[in-house]
Amino acid sequence: MKKSVFYHAGCPVCLSAEHEILELMDPATIDVVHLGEEKSKIQDAENAGVKSVPALVTPTGNVLHINYGASMADVKN
C-alpha cells in the first residue's frame, strides 16, 4: 500500500499534530519527514502541493494542511 507522508518542520504545532496523527492512524502507513532536517525534500513537498506544515499527503495525492505551523517560505529559511 502506498503510504501517506507527514511533513513537518519541528515546530511545536507540528509536533503536536504529529503526535495526534500517529495516534489516530496506523503509524506503519505514514512516513514522517522533518523538512528542517531534510531540506532536500522541500522540493518533493512543494511538488506534492504542500503550502504549509504540518501537512499530510495522502496515498491518493491529496494534501491535508493541518492547523498552521509555518509556511513553506519559512521552512526554507
User: Rule CB under 8 A: which residues touch a copy of itself?
Assistant: 4, 16-17, 20-21, 23-25, 29, 56, 58, 60, 62, 64-68
Residues in the chain: 77
Q: Which helix (H) or strand (E) holds 19?
A: helix 12-24
Q: Which is nearer to a copy of itself, 17 or 75 (CB)?
A: 17
Give least dist CB 40 to a copy of itself, A: 26
Grid cell digits, residue 10:
519541528
Q: Which is nearer to a copy of itself, 39 or 51 (CB)?
A: 51
Q: Which of 56, 61, 58 is nearest to 8 (CA)?
A: 56
